[in-house]
Structure formats: structure tokens, C-alpha cells
Chains A and B, each alone.
Chain A
Amino acid sequence: MGDTLLTVRGLTINIPVGGGTLHAVRGIDFDVDRGETLCIVGESGSGKSLTSLALMGLLGGRIDRRATEMQFDGIDLTRANARTMRALRGDRMSMIFQEPMTSLNPAYTIGDQLTEALLLHRDVGREAARARAVELLEKVGITAAASRLGQYPHQLSGGLRQRVMIAMALMCEPELIIADEPTTALDVTIQAQILRLLVDLGREMNMAMILITHDLGVVARVADKVAVMYAGELVETGSASEVFNAPMHPYTRGLLRCIPQPGKTERGARLGTIPGIVPSLVGGVTGCPFRTRCDQVVDACRQAIPRRNPGSGNHEFRCVHETGHRMAEESPA
């Protein structure tokens, strides 16, 4: 710990759309240490997937990405050219996508796809690459690994495909894995298996991981560090225990009230809600983006929002209220 692998400061993503510019991500900061798992949690439209693509340099050409600082192990990603990025991708940082069905190419065997990155980035022969592929398939818990190399993606179930994706991402022993909703398309039992696998492998290989998800349960169980994203901004960051045990931002608190928690929420009782919908981010966005749905809103929410540090560790949130609550009336948490 403490050995910073990835530093991001002021990451901004603008997308030109029909009626102007969509300010999808606006000046977010975060760090990932070696071997650490950062979970970016947010709802659809929060910009969490765009953030992961921006790190990999995989945004489309029309999309404007800028950052005051973006360093991966001393390499300045803001100035890295396409070649540098290609050399990094698949080798030192790799990605796992949500849909295992579409992210494996149906025209190639599992073996071809597994060895591709290794043959590209490392000076190894076919045999060595295949041996490595078998080793990793076994590591992700796939039985009869050697015989799987000749199979095609459609011959595997969803859970197996996602395991293959993970094995593929691990082929070059990357230092950073970015996983975008890796278990959302899977059944709950398989989700638990895959997440357990990811966590164990991350620990074993001292890999850092950025896990993008909307599922608060996944975040709580997997994350070392949590970043709560809403409408293109990180509204609250901190360690998993800080964010879940002492949520400060009204959005974080609202989200935790929205989900039924076995053993805590009374069966059949009304759940908390966050009324309204995510605002349009086209055109100028000023002030707190959550103010249209916040129960703590005051006039000052339209101005610049200060960052607050509630005291412990790296816990930080952005709110006009010092405690995340309106001063006059303390609303129930």
C-alpha cells in the first residue's frame, strides 16, 4: 500500500451532441495504489463507464478528454501517443467488459484469443503462450483447461465466458485491471463466484483493480476504496468502511436507503427514495448536480461546492453543508 500506481486529477470528458456539449465527466480526481481495489459506483448516466474508457484511451475520436494530470506508474497518459497506449493496453493495464457474450470474438477459438495479447506484447513462442493460457484457465477455475483452448465462445456458458475474459485480462500479469460491471449480466451465484475469484487473484498477483458498478452490495464486499459518482462528479470518496458506515453526502445516504438490506430493513416496509431523475448535462452545469433531487437543498447549492473532509483518513465529500445535512433541521439518516 501507499505505492501509487495511477493518479488522476481533473479528468474531464466532453461529448459533442446535437444541441451543444454533453459535460459527461467534470473534473474528477482519484488515486489507485498498487494492489488496491477502487470501486466507482454510480447509476446510469453518471459517467462511470466513460471514465474507465478514458483511462484506457479507448474513447471515440469525437469525444474530448482532458485532465490536469493522469499518470500511470510515471507515464503521463495525457501526453501518451497511440503507440504508447497500445503498448500499455493488454500488457500493463487490461479491461474486463460487462457482456461476456459480445466481448469475445465468436470467430476465434478461446486459445487464439487468450494468447493474442501475450504474443503481441511479449517475446514468447506459441507453445509457451498456450501453456500460460492453460495455467490461467486453471487458475480461474476452468476444468479440462487444455481442451477448452480449441473451443469457441458460443460453446461456453455465460459464467465460463466471463472466467475466460478474466483469464484473458490476466495473461500479461497486468498491474491494473479495469472491470466495467463484470458481473451484472450473470446470475447471483455466479456473480459471487466471479467476484471472489477476482478478489483472490488480485491479492495473489498484487494487482490494482478499478471496478465500475451500480451494485452497492458488490462495492461494499470488494472495495478498499469507494468513489460515488453522480452526474459526472465524484460526490463522495473514502474507504469502504468510511463510505458505508458513515455516509456523508445526501446522495450516498439516499442510495443506501433505497436498497432493501436483509436484517436491517423491515420486510415490507417502505424503502427510501430519491425523487426526480438525473439532470441533463448538456450546456453549462454549475453548482451541485444533485440539487434537483436532494432533500437538503438550499440556495447555495447553485454556487461552487466546497470539498469537505469529515476528519477520518481520506474520506471526502462535496456538499455545501458541513455535515451533509441542512443546519436548521437535522433530517433522519
Chain B
Amino acid sequence: MSDVNKDAPVLELRGVTKTYSVKQGLFGAPKPLTAVNDVTLTLGRGEVLGLVGESGCGKSTLAKILLGLEAPTQGEVLVDGERIDATDRRRLARRIQPIFQDPYSSLNPRKSIEDIVSLPLLVHNVGDAASRTKAVREILDIVGLPARVMQTYPSQMSGGQRQRVAIARALIMKPEIVICDEPTSALDVSVQSQILNLLGDLRSEFGLTYLFISHDLAVIEHLATRVAVMYLGRIVEEADVAGLFDQSRHPYTQALLKSVLTPDPGMGVPDTELGMEYPNPIAPPPGCHFHPRCPAAMDRCKIIAPLPIPTPDGHVECHLFDGDGPEPVRSIS
């Protein structure tokens, strides 16, 4: 698990912040919404970084920044040590490709599968028509689709087949990094495992690096090598997969882990101890953003925002781990 990170990082985020201004009502003054708040991450070649968090925590905005679809308000993103805002978008496209959640919305219904998968080649002027067709056939074979689907349309395919097409499109240019944004959550259980296996196989075959966004912690635990937990725009804990799942530090991470419903009959539904305060990204609470829901909240959490505290395999942002604080590790009961 810890043999990664020896090479130079393939992807690096330094203090990335993205602020939108949100208008409330017809005449309301626009308010700032900090979707991504000072995120610093590094991703080594071949790693799978699992990014977890609730809806609205900024996961998808982060993915868009990495894909060059949104520009960060502050901070920088480096791919192979090169800043992406200085990189031509088409060059970036050769290195980072997305796989989206909804295979019903990610494929243009008016185009044949061949047109969809060959689009990247066409845009980047790779080869002639015949070689592009050949490349499409090869990549479809790799993702487990027969060549005869080339002339069909997305509406004729099942969800799993469509997601394979989306994967083929992402991989045809042989990118280094693939951003998987909830790639299996719209799929049936029996199809989900096929796609997860495929993603695992492709990773070892092509040496891919994944940023894997999911709300399903069981899936993250299964596939990821590192995990980052996001809450209201901040990475509150980051660790190796073993470290995070076996001895999580942040109370939010612990609540997330408790919420995982494993198929074990008789264990009942766990108590998350999170309470009823739902986060509002437009008006995040002062101090630690998590304190209104935190079962371990202390007085200082309401006033002072915690700073990232390094841990052996990552970092955590919580006052429980301040040097002068009480003894940190709470066990997961």
C-alpha cells in the first residue's frame, strides 16, 4: 500500500480554492460560495485517490477544475510538474480524461458509438479514418464490447454497456489520469462490479492514475490506495486506505464509516451521532465547519478553524489532534 509516491507526483494541487458568487432572490446581493477551500493534494503515478464526501461538499467542482473545465480562483494545479492553466487545453486533454456518473447523459444520443469513441482522435488529428476505426475497435475490445456495437446508438444500449463506451472514450487517447466521478452509482449492483473490475484491470494494464469520486465507501475501500475526505470544500482527512479505514481520525470520517451498511443481517442500522444540522455551503458555520454536527465538538471548535495536522500517512484537520488537546484517537465502536 505504501510503495507508491516514490516517483514525482503526477498530479499536484496547491492551495486550490474555487469561489462562486451565488445570487439569492431577484434583488439579493450575490454571496460568495466557497465550493473548494484551500485544497492541497498530491497524487503519485498509479495511485487511486478516493475522494469521499456528501453531496455539495465540492467533490464535483474539484473534478471540474482538474479537467480544466473550471479555473480555480486561487492556487495551482500541476500535472507532471506543469501548471495546467499554462498548458494548452488540448494538451491537458491528452493527459486527463473524465468518466462521468450518468451513462445516460454522458453520451450524445445523436451520435453512433464509433463517432463518440473516435471524437478525441478526430479532435487531436490522430491518424486517418481507417486507423481511427481500427483504434476504436481495439479500445472497444479492451473495455469488453464487440465491434458490432460501433454502428449502434446509445439509446440501444444498457447502462453498463454505455458506461463501457464512456470508458473507451476516456482511454482512447491513452491518458495518464482518469477522473472517475461516481462512475458506478447509476448502475445496477450486478453491473457495478463489472465496471469496477474493468477499471481495476485497466489501471494495472495501462498504469493509470485515478481520482475516484464516490459516496460509496465500500467501493472506495475496495479500489482506492489513498483516501481524501471532503467536508464543505475542505479536505478534512487524508490517509492511506488502510490507515483511513482501520483507524480513522476525524470524527466526520468516523461518522461516514459508521454509516456504511454492510450486508450483515442482525446488526441493525448504526447511529451516526451526527445530529440534524445540515451544512449550508453559502453560510458555513464559524470555526470548524463540522462542529455543529460533531459529537466531539469542544468550545474552541466553534471559534477557531483547525489547521491541517500532519499524520504519518497524510493529514487531518481537527482540534482533537492539536498538540495541547486531549488524547486523540477515538475508537470506532
Contacts and interface: CB of A to CB of B under 8 A. Distances in A.
B256 A188 contact: yes
Contacts of B216: 188
Interface stretch (A20-28, A82-90, A269-277, A297-305): A269-277
Given A255-B190, A268-B223, A262 B260 contact: yes
A57 interface: no
B197 A220 contact: no
B245 A245 contact: no
Nearest to B196: A271
B188 interface: yes
A195 B190 contact: no
Interface stretch (A166-174, A211-219, A311-319): A211-219
B189 A262 contact: no
Contact of A196 (B197, B223, B271): B271
Nearest to A242: B265
Nearest to B221: A262
A193 B55 CA distance: 16
B332 to A, nearest CB: 12
A109 B61 CA distance: 33
Nearest to A197: B269
A142 B219 CA distance: 32
Nearest to A265: B222
A255 B189 contact: yes
B271 A221 contact: no
Contacts of B191: 277
Interface string A278-315: 10000000000000010000000000000000000000
Given A189-B256, A261-B262, A143 B274 contact: no
Shortest 5 CB-CB contacts between residues of A and residues of B: A217-B261, A260-B222, A258-B193, A274-B190, A240-B265
14 contacts: A141-B276, A187-B55, A214-B189, A217-B260, A240-B266, A254-B190, A258-B192, A260-B222, A262-B262, A267-B241, A270-B197, A271-B222, A272-B193, A277-B161
Interface string A180-199: 00000001111111011001
Interface string B144-166: 00000000000000111100000
A192 B190 contact: no
A261 B263 CA distance: 7
A223 interface: yes
B272 interface: yes
Interface of B: 54-55, 158-161, 188-194, 196-197, 200, 215-219, 221-223, 241-242, 245, 255-256, 258-272, 274, 276, 278
A293 B263 CA distance: 23
A173 B255 CA distance: 32
Contacts of A222: 269
B155 to A, nearest CB: 14
Given A259-B192, A261-B218, A277-B161, 19 more contacts: A44-B188, A189-B274, A192-B261, A192-B272, A219-B263, A221-B261, A221-B264, A221-B265, A221-B268, A257-B193, A259-B218, A262-B217, A262-B218, A262-B221, A268-B223, A270-B197, A271-B196, A271-B197, A277-B158
Nearest to A241: B265
A259 B274 contact: no
Nearest to A185: B55
A152 to B, nearest CB: 14
A187 B217 CA distance: 11
A244 B263 contact: yes
Contacts of A188: 54, 215-217, 256, 259-260
A159 interface: yes
